[in-house]
Structure 1
């Protein structure tokens, strides 16, 4: 059934893209005379019709690709002047992607501006990214927090804030994007292949989140939102945006507070060889999150050549989680198959977690001459994560006789116990970094960039676990701290880069660069043993842009990227078990090398109908060296089997991305916009256990999005739908000396919105998220180290639909 669904979805999407590509839109009701740089329109794109306005807007939309005239001066200065840095008005105009920067950029990048972000009433950056090409979001259903570009694990995607990495609590160097509310965001850049000026740690790609900047004029917006779930609510949020410019000083205050709820229902069942349930688990979870965010931006032009900017921000997420879990463990007599023992656990979980992150610093920009400038930046940033967790376990164990009807064994009375598990975890991650860059034009067709970056990073983790039986007798507390639960890491990095953007005639742009990254690590385990590691990598990059016609752009790029190991992978720890093949010891690997990748991409973008439609195709291929995976080996020194992360070999990542967007005047619906994208994803890595070629962990065969937006200008109304398609996949993973083969079913989601303007300064939006009530379904098969089947497990997890209303007042 899943295969048929995959076949149907893929062919439906291909048909959509082919139809879009061959459609010939009717001529828009707009005249353009490029010879004298005049445009005749009845309404600019940035003007928002009120309820009283009835004039239809002209079909002058800009889409995924734009014409790139050699003369970069705006053709209509009146319209251009209305496009400020901060766009609030989005209701009542046809859906458009204002991404001229993508077309004009010498390198390939997808840019999501505020109109795209705000229109669908997204709450977090994760919700925005879910509908973009090649993006898969990880985390529980309904929580879009872990970005997985190209469907790869989260550690292959790099998250930047204002062009720099930001520390977070994750061991995989990831950043949870659900922590950033969209009220702080100016735009989002999705970068496939980096240039030399960008950090190289994005094998799958990089997400650069640009926070809002100080404006050139007064802006003031207050937004209030309220949301509800099917079983919980109401809850909501408040965001404020206020800024202005006074002489040479401009400022912006962007702040917000929002509450999020994430209730879950989970079901797990483990079956033995005879398909009998040995463990059945049902869990009801209630999770409440409170996000507080502040991101002021101050800019002071202290002289005609010098500008100072101050760019602090503060993020705090408080999470309260309560869960009730009922677990039944069963044992059976052999060979009769009768019930031998039933252990019933009633578990109550109380978990509180707070993540506080902040950055202080700014930049000094100086214009050295008419063709050169300098930028110096200095920042300090820190993230603290505190978690306290208490589990109360009430257990009842009943023993049965090996007889018909499985009567209770009177010789073994029912046993009742109560245990308490406590877990305290503290993580601290701080970073001091400085940047210095120079841009200059030695010749007319060259733009050279030189830069140096340095950072000093300290990370500490301390996780203490205890367990105590309090009934029927009070027993001493037993510590359960793991071997790698306590460690500290010092990581110092120095980067030097050079890049030259070369204009080769009127149609070709070549961007070539080289980036050197040197890193020194010192890792200290909980037993005070330490290890040092250092290394240098050189990462070249080459990007070529060919303007085939004014509406056709061909791009090709080549870049080398890096995926650094998890923090706790190269800690010098040992967790002793039996030391056998079935129960190997777990050890760290201080000699672990980073994965490196050489990626090539090529693509073409075609627009038509005066930019009322666009179609893009992009193919990519990446060679990955020194792939990191867990592996079991016999240690000849102590004659014990050990499981540790190792550089096991090489891999490949490849695929094809298609995206399309078009207005439909040729259907007689000039205010309807159709958009969609599909990414076909593939990868190869050799499985060391079976010798078979398999995919990278949890990578689906494709991911797709479809949607539409419709405008009713007479009423000043927009409404639309987005449909996300994520098919199932198979995953093989070595865990605790055993191989788990997981088959996960597909997850599709549907979002909708309706927005309209009440007055000149007030707009209202209604929206729904996860309207299909997404369910995550997994079937796991567990094999021991010798490849013998042990058991299977069924897992189900569901999330609720969300409905909301937002009211925005521009004052």
Structure 2
């Protein structure tokens, strides 16, 4: 267990804060700016009347929406749904691709695991209504394409840590705020259809209503949308980058599914100062991914003989839901918050792939493998916090209690035919089970002050984790504690300009597959992998320095520099123990020696040297790394040059990092070198219409793991829209996505083991390209 001498001091400070006399004067200052209520309790002595904005002003936009400028002390970017809505995003992933420093390294037109600052999704914390939620990724990531854009009120990008929020945010945090009853009033319906490159047309429907009910305010929303992505892939394989051609593969990859989602929110004032909020969301993903591949022995199919037919099918059946209750009230001269939340992720998916091989046009074999996934991830949390005045400043203290239970079973099947007519009948190959239980108790203490042009926030958070981990090859318990200090400064240089400085310590907890003591055969080339349940988290010391300037009444321009120094990196290391593949290779040497020398097996065992080249690897905290970059963003109308109805949007992020592994220095895996967005919206008030365009480009990314290296590039993505409004209640919008038919290209260097990787002795070199074609969407919204 890690221990920190500062923990005792923090505990004493929390006790002193709890025992502070209740006779201190009430603190009657509003929470700064647009700070989200989901992240920090306000210090208001009493609650004002609830005032909600009309949904028709949100649905049928009469003017261009820009990036919000908040008064938060910690560096925060806020984007309302209206900022994205003109381009009709389908999911939160579609929204986030327009945000500074957001990278996705996934399939064409798929935006699932968000990577802030280009670092892997494991370094980005995703919150829903300010709360942690379990997700699909083995690296603890939450796939943001699971939440439809229509359920969202705003998206917040929190560039640095604060004490009153979980510290799992080395790269930063994305807070997805769903629409709630307190903020909106009215109803609307959204109807639409998407046309895809292969001629398929898929519908979408959403409805939201909000108003006074049950002594408070109630909001309910539903969304049903078909998600369809017909992709075409091409692969060419060679012996090495400058070696002979091996084979080619043409593949269609069609992803066809439907998402069902709903959210519910209720808010009511209780007594003179209390406010009760209840919320819940549910998302179901039902999706089929059908892959059909044909392999040839020549570069062009018309010149080739088919060597393999490879059909594959993945059925995704996932549910993600959460419920929460929050109560805030005045107490003892301050304000107290109690939050209780429960969230669950359920995955019941299947995967299968067959390969029917041919030689000289004749049947040569039929093999298949399948995988059944049965996984659930449940998190329950309780937060108790109190904020109060402390002289010229304010103080907040509290504790987060969290319980996590992840249970996973992967069942593998295989089939091999003896004759061409044999039907596919799977036989059990292996079962890999794992269970991870984590209990956290995280107390924190935070102080906030505002002295003229300077505002500051300083805090300490002490995160304690107790875990029990069980896999097929063992079980273990592990405890670790981390003290996470944070300091934020905001200096107003005038009414229009300000400088922000943030210093914070954060962490990244080990991925589930890194922890589970279950042997995964040939996970890295010919090498096996065995999880290590005694891993500690990675920790990072970070700094953000930013300058922001307001342009007129609605525009804003900003620049931010960031740096992260990351310790205890989790890397894959060799246990030194040969695996089964190594012994199988040795068995071949023994048989050859017996045949060549006419000796017995025992004599051959004594004579043949055993020099294994494949091993069992595991994960350990052995490395350090650093990441840095520059982030620029501009969002403004062109009023200064006489174009008040023209809005422009630009952001650019230059990203870099350094990690040392067994092969030398590299960047963090899959960190793009840069990402930028540029776009405009032209409003035509006299015609009740508008149009606009957006262009996004992401730089090259590189990944290096044991026995494989991948370089990934993306073409630019162009989107346009045209909109016509009818009165104050109806709008019709036509939008186009991927109009340049962007390609994703991957370059794979594949090896059998580390020795071959060091010597550049290739097993295979592969070039793969995929694209999906343009798509068009027609949407009508009616507010009433």
Fold shared, TM-score > 0.5 on shorter chain? yes
After TM superposition, give the deviation of residue 199 of structure 1 in Å. Answer: 1.1
- Residue 492 of structure 1 aligns to a residue whose secondary structure is strand
Kept in 2: contact 1:93–1:718 (CA 8 A):
no
Are 1:587 and 2:534 counterparts?
no
Distance in 1 (CA, whole Å) between partners of 2:102 and 2:430 is 36
Match of 1:461 among 408, 412, 417: 408
Which residue of structure 2 lines up, in the alignment, with residue 53 of structure 1?
A: none
Which residue of structure 2 lines up, in the alignment, with residue 627 of structure 1?
A: 569
Are 1:552 and 2:525 counterparts?
no
Q: For residues 128 and 249 of structure 1, do their structure 2 counterparts lie closer, same or farther at Cα, with a shift above 3 Å needed?
A: same
Which residue of structure 2 lines up, in the alignment, with residue 710 of structure 1?
A: 682
Match of 1:501 among 448, 464, 477: 448
- Residue 145 of structure 2 aligns to a residue whose secondary structure is helix
Q: For residues 436 and 807 of structure 1, do their structure 2 counterparts lie closer, same or farther at Cα, with a shift above 3 Å needed?
A: same
5+ residue gaps in structure 1? 1-61, 64-79, 331-338, 400-413
Q: Per-residue CA shift, 1:707-756, capped at 9, x if unaligned?
A: 1111111011121111111122333222xxx2x33332343111111122
Which residue of structure 2 lines up, in the alignment, with residue 788 of structure 1?
A: 759
Which residue of structure 2 lines up, in the alignment, with residue 430 of structure 1?
A: 378
Which residue of structure 2 lines up, in the alignment, with residue 122 of structure 1?
A: 89
Distance in 1 (CA, whole Å) between partners of 2:471 and 2:189 is 49
For normalisation by structure 2, the TM-score amounts to 0.84
Are 1:275 and 2:222 counterparts?
no
Distance in 2 (CA, whole Å) between partners of 1:604 and 1:630 is 39
- Residue 348 of structure 2 aligns to a residue whose secondary structure is strand
Matches within 5 A, 1:593-612: 593-608=536-551, 610-612=552-554
Are 1:447 and 2:398 counterparts?
no
After TM superposition, give the deviation of residue 328 of structure 1 in Å. Answer: 4.1
- Residue 441 of structure 1 aligns to a residue whose secondary structure is strand
- Residue 58 of structure 2 aligns to a residue whose secondary structure is coil
- Residue 346 of structure 1 aligns to a residue whose secondary structure is strand
Distance in 2 (CA, whole Å) between partners of 1:329 and 1:122 is 42
Which residue of structure 1 lines up, in the alignment, with residue 137 of structure 2?
A: 170
Q: For residues 512 and 535 of structure 1, do their structure 2 counterparts lie closer, same or farther at Cα, with a shift above 3 Å needed?
A: same
Q: For residues 354 and 554 of structure 1, do their structure 2 counterparts lie closer, same or farther at Cα, with a shift above 3 Å needed?
A: same
After TM superposition, give the deviation of residue 653 of structure 1 in Å. Answer: 0.6
Distance in 2 (CA, whole Å) between partners of 1:797 and 1:461 is 32
Match of 1:295 among 234, 249, 263: 263
After TM superposition, give the deviation of residue 382 of structure 1 in Å. Answer: 1.3
After TM superposition, give the deviation of residue 342 of structure 1 in Å. Answer: 8.1
Match of 1:536 among 481, 493, 517: 481
Match of 1:353 among 303, 307, 316: 316
Distance in 1 (CA, whole Å) between partners of 2:336 and 2:726 is 47
- Residue 295 of structure 1 aligns to a residue whose secondary structure is strand
Which residue of structure 1 lines up, in the alignment, with residue 3 of structure 2?
A: none
Which residue of structure 1 lines up, in the alignment, with residue 644 of structure 2?
A: 670
- Residue 745 of structure 1 aligns to a residue whose secondary structure is strand
5+ residue gaps in structure 2? 1-32, 35-48, 584-610
After TM superposition, give the deviation of residue 598 of structure 1 in Å. Answer: 0.5
Q: For residues 717 and 539 of structure 1, do their structure 2 counterparts lie closer, same or farther at Cα, with a shift above 3 Å needed?
A: same
Kept in 2: contact 1:584–1:632 (CA 8 A):
no
Are 1:397 and 2:371 counterparts?
no
After TM superposition, give the deviation of residue 782 of structure 1 in Å. Answer: 3.1
After TM superposition, give the deviation of residue 477 of structure 1 in Å. Answer: 4.8
Which residue of structure 2 lines up, in the alignment, with residue 241 of structure 1?
A: 208
After TM superposition, give the deviation of residue 318 of structure 1 in Å. Answer: 0.5
For normalisation by structure 1, the TM-score amounts to 0.81
Matches within 5 A, 1:699-738: 699-734=671-706, 738=707
Which residue of structure 2 lines up, in the alignment, with residue 801 of structure 1?
A: 774
After TM superposition, give the deviation of residue 476 of structure 1 in Å. Answer: 7.8
Q: For residues 250 and 702 of structure 1, do their structure 2 counterparts lie closer, same or farther at Cα, with a shift above 3 Å needed?
A: same
- Residue 709 of structure 2 aligns to a residue whose secondary structure is strand
Give aligned pairs, total. Answer: 694
RMSD of the alignment, in Å? 2.7
After TM superposition, the structure 1 stretch with the greater mean CA deviation from structure 2, 165-174 or 209-218, is 209-218
Match of 2:428 among 453, 458, 479: 479
Distance in 1 (CA, whole Å) between partners of 2:718 and 2:767 is 25
Kept in 2: contact 1:769–1:802 (CA 8 A):
yes
After TM superposition, give the deviation of residue 673 of structure 1 in Å. Answer: 1.5
After TM superposition, give the deviation of residue 667 of structure 1 in Å. Answer: 3.4
- Residue 154 of structure 2 aligns to a residue whose secondary structure is strand
Match of 1:652 among 613, 626, 633: 626
Kept in 2: contact 1:117–1:182 (CA 8 A):
no
Distance in 2 (CA, whole Å) between partners of 1:117 and 1:84 is 18
Kept in 2: contact 1:364–1:377 (CA 8 A):
yes
After TM superposition, give the deviation of residue 150 of structure 1 in Å. Answer: 0.6
After TM superposition, give the deviation of residue 128 of structure 1 in Å. Answer: 0.8
Are 1:615 and 2:557 counterparts?
yes
Matches within 5 A, 1:513-532: 513-527=459-473, 529-532=474-477
Kept in 2: contact 1:86–1:114 (CA 8 A):
no
Match of 1:89 among 43, 58, 61: 58
